[in-house]
């Protein structure tokens, strides 16, 4: 991956840095931050689960004092390069294993977009739900987008896996039930979303993702 575009394209199809930034702005405004109450959230710290090239961390950095991201890939230096290109100076990137080092109740907003569908076990879902319950600040919100299926849980075998393909699909009510086990209540959800929000609903315009907005039951 020599160029920045090649690097960004690995995570989300793109042909230029500008189009990545434009798409990130649109995903941020019309999906990730598009829920009632976002404007009123305290904006001290956000956390992205699976930041990839950093396009959404760059969006979060405009709203939050600190925009943290966690991932497992081995090219954090390229993500930092992208963030520097965008003049982002308040981001912090952590490896998955460093996540427990974040203080309890220290995140006002946790979000994850096109990531849970790339996990290959429900244990990984549980790891992050547990961390979300631990890290959410009182009154905080967690917005998770995940791969959906109509029945149960479907895991795609590693040998059938191709670049950008999804590996984990969860029936939305099961996901919400799972979150409840960790003390997270579902405030709003969409089990069937449009893939392209500029086009009308229809059988040819269905996203592979569903979404759920979570808060601590204790709040
Ligand atoms: C398709 S990219 C999405 C990146 C970013 N959320 C975006 O919308 O541009 C998926 C990202 O999830 C990350 N990922 C996959 N499994 C993960 C895990 N178990 N923990 C954290 N990140 C993970 C990958 O390394 C990759 O960066």
Domains of the chain listed by start with CATH number: 4-216 (3.40.50.150)
Residue 127 CB neighbours (<10 A):
15
Nearest ligand 1 atom to the CA of 124 is 19
**Token representation of residue 146:** 């995940």
Q: How far is the CA of 12 from the centre of ligand 1 (A)?
A: 10
CA of 77 to the centre of ligand 1 (A): 15
In the sheet with 184-190, reading across from the earlier edge strand, the strands are 91-95, 66-71, 45-49, 107-112, 136-147, 209-216, 184-190
What is the rounded distance in angstroms from the CA atom of residue 138 to the CA atom of residue 215?
A: 9
The pLDDT, as a whole number, for residue 57 is: 98
80-135 pLDDT, tens per residue? 999 999 999 999 999 999 999 999 999 999 999 999 999 999 999 999 999 999 99
pLDDT at 160: 63
**pLDDT tens track for 15-26:** 999 999 999 999
pLDDT band, very low/low/confident/very high, at 1 (cuts 50, 70, 90): low
Ligand 1 pocket (Cβ < 6 Å) reads: 11-12, 49-53, 55-56, 70-73, 96, 113-115, 118-119, 124
The closest-lying atom of ligand 1 relative to the alpha carbon of residue 113 is: 6
Q: Helix (H, G, I), strand (E, B), or coil: what is residue 82?
A: helix
What does the alpha-carbon distance between residue 117 and residue 141 come to, in Å, rounded to a whole number? 20
Ligand 1 centroid to Cα of residue 110, in Å, is 14
When pLDDT is averaged across residues 45-70 and rounded to a whole number, the result is 98
Distances from the Cα of 20 to the Cα of 120, 152, 180, 197, angstroms? 26, 34, 34, 17
State the Cα–Cα distance between residues 101 and 185, nearest whole angstrom. 24
Distance 71 CA to ligand 1 centre (A): 6
Q: Which atom of ligand 1 is nearest to the CA of 70?
A: 21
Q: Which atom number of ligand 1 is nearest to the Cα of residue 127?
A: 19
How far, in Å, from the CA of 11 to the mean position of ligand 1?
A: 8
CA of 116 to the centre of ligand 1 (A): 8
Instruction: Write down the pTM of the prediction.
Output: 0.96
Three-point CA angle 125, 130, 134, nearest 5°: 145
**What is the pLDDT of the chain when averaged over all its residues?**
94
Q: Whose CA is nearest to atom 8 of ligand 1?
A: 113
Handedness of CA 37, 38, 42, 46 (dihedral sign): positive
214 near 179, Cβ under 8 Å? yes
Q: How many Cβ atoms from other residues are within 10 Å of residue 74's Cβ? A: 8
């Amino acid at each position: 991956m020599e160029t920045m575009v090649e690097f960004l394209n690995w995570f989300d199809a793109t042909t230029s840095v500008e189009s990545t930034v434009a798409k990130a702005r649109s995903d941020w405004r019309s999906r990730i931050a598009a829920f009632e109450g976002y404007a009123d959230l305290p904006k001290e710290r956000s956390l992205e689960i699976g930041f990839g090239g950093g396009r959404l961390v760059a969006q979060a950095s405009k709203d939050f004092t600190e925009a943290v991201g966690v991932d497992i890939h081995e090219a954090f230096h390229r993500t930092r390069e992208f963030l520097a290109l965008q003049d982002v100076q308040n981001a912090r990137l952590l490896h998955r294993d460093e996540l427990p080092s974040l203080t309890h109740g220290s995140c006002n907003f946790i979000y994850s977009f096109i990531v849970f569908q790339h996990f290959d076990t429900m244990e990984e879902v549980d790891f992050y739900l547990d961390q979300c319950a631990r890290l959410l600040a009182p009154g905080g919100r967690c917005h998770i987008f995940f791969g959906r299926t109509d029945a149960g849980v479907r895991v795609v075998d590693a040998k059938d896996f191709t670049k950008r393909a999804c590996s984990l699909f969860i029936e939305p009510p099961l996901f919400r039930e799972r979150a409840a086990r960790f003390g997270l209540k579902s405030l709003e959800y969409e089990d069937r979303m449009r893939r392209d929000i500029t086009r009308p609903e229809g059988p040819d315009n269905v996203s592979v993702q569903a979404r759920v907005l979570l808060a601590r039951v204790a709040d």
